[in-house]
Amino acid sequence: MSNLKIPILDLSAEIEAHWDELMEAYQGVLRSGAFVMGPNVMAFEQEAAEYLGVKHAIGVNSGTDALIIGLRAAGIQPGDEVITTPFTFFATAEAISMVGATPVFVDIDERTFNIDTNLIEPAITERTKAILPVHLYGQAVDMDPIMALAKEYNLKVIEDTAQAFGGEYRGQKLGAIGDVGCFSFYPSKNLGAFGDGGLITTNDDEIAETAEMLRNHGSKKTYYNEVLGYNSRLDEIQAAILRVRLPHIDQANAGRRQAAHRYNELLKGVPNIITPYEDPNAKHVYHQYTIRVQNGRRDEVNNSLAEKGIGARIYYPVPVHQLPVYKDSAPTLPVAEQLAGEVLSLPIWPGIDEKVLEQVCDALKLA
């Protein structure tokens, strides 16, 4: 076991399986001479929109920019409040702050790691303009109560779907339920590019038009800039890579789900280990397979795995509301704070070998 080297993620087999297609796509862009906002970007936007079941998909250069531009396109302005989760990557709250709004953190559901929908309504004020749920680790947020609150209080819903491409809630693709969906194509994501990339989805024509302007320096027509925007265009090469990988996303997600279910079997009954909850109304796509290690042993267990060459990771060791940027004004959120000391993500990828899963679980049992 001491000589094993098991990474948290290994994309080599998946890349090798599609090598010829990937090389053809890459070389096609090089030979075309169209490197910015070319035909692959437009084609990918259409193909992604069709897959997700939305009217509009707008490619941008990162998941962070998808959030920033998505918030602005939805009308979020300085002085507004946006209710969100503290248990997420920093970019979720950062994007809210970058548009001049204030993130209002509410605690999370200990089963799903997602925002506790029962706590949202008490946090609504006259300044609240949106709810920003995060489908963390590939697990869908319970969207029905969020959409009901949004309707009652006239709020926008911006879905952070960075970790859940292809996930579903009640048969509907995540990112297609709220007013805006925001995706990341960072290489480690379920649908990953070979560099940065992002996507904004919406069924609202006005939001789509504004997002398209904002990603291109605030202009509909070159040199006729109407608002202050960004240089945030999805790269043509990355779009070509994503077009190769998109048709295989369901198969890849199925592979992750299969691995997760096998982990569940192998870890059943192991003391101090809680395996991931899977909502029966949703399709979890396991961007991460995240367990809880109880009794204060998470770091000890993580170190033990590392000594055995197993690359587990902690997503996330500090809740966003406790980071230096927000800690002076944030409330105490006990569930998020507790889980930040318990979560541990185990190696998972499409096609992960059964023996690898067994080796990881054997090491966990001995930790």
Predicted confidence (pLDDT) at residue 2 exceeds the cutoff of 50: no
Q: What is the mean pLDDT of residues 159-165?
A: 98
**Over the stretch 182-221, which tens digit does the pLDDT of each residue have?**
999 999 999 999 999 999 999 999 999 999 999 999 999 8
Predicted confidence (pLDDT) at residue 67 exceeds the cutoff of 60: yes
Whether the Cβ atoms of residue 322 and residue 330 lie closer than 8 Å to each other: yes
pTM: 0.96
Whether the Cβ atoms of residue 287 and residue 164 lie closer than 8 Å to each other: yes
**Over the stretch 242-271, which tens digit does the pLDDT of each residue have?**
999 999 999 999 999 999 999 999 999 999
**Over the stretch 275-302, which tens digit does the pLDDT of each residue have?**
999 999 999 999 999 999 999 999 999 9
- The model's confidence at residue 329, banded by pLDDT at 50, 70 and 90, is confident
Residue whose token pair is 């990771």: 313
**Over the stretch 330-345, which tens digit does the pLDDT of each residue have?**
899 999 999 999 999 9
Predicted confidence (pLDDT) at residue 144 exceeds the cutoff of 90: yes
Predicted confidence (pLDDT) at residue 1 exceeds the cutoff of 50: no
Whether the Cβ atoms of residue 191 and residue 165 lie closer than 8 Å to each other: yes
pLDDT at 367: 86
Please, which contacts does 54-57 make with residues 24 or more away whose CB atoms are closer than 8 Å?
54/175, 54/176, 54/181, 54/201, 54/202, 54/203, 55/202, 55/203, 55/205, 55/208, 56/200, 56/201, 56/202, 56/203, 56/204, 56/205, 56/207, 56/208, 56/211, 57/199, 57/200, 57/201
Q: What share of the chain is helix, strand, coil (3-state, %, to 5)?
A: 40, 20, 40
Predicted confidence (pLDDT) at residue 346 exceeds the cutoff of 80: yes
- The model's confidence at residue 4, banded by pLDDT at 50, 70 and 90, is low
- The model's confidence at residue 178, banded by pLDDT at 50, 70 and 90, is very high
SS3 354: helix
Answer left, alpha or beta for residue 319, where phi above 0 means left and psi between -120 and 50 means alpha: beta
What share of the chain has pLDDT > 70, as a percent? 99
Q: State the pairing for strand pair 172-173/156-160.
A: unpaired
How confident is the prediction for the chain on average, in pLDDT? 96
Radius of gyration for the chain, computed over Cα atoms and rounded to the nearest angstrom? 20
Q: Write the burial class of residue 120 (CB in 10 Å: 0-12 exposed, 13-18 middle, 19+ buried).
A: buried
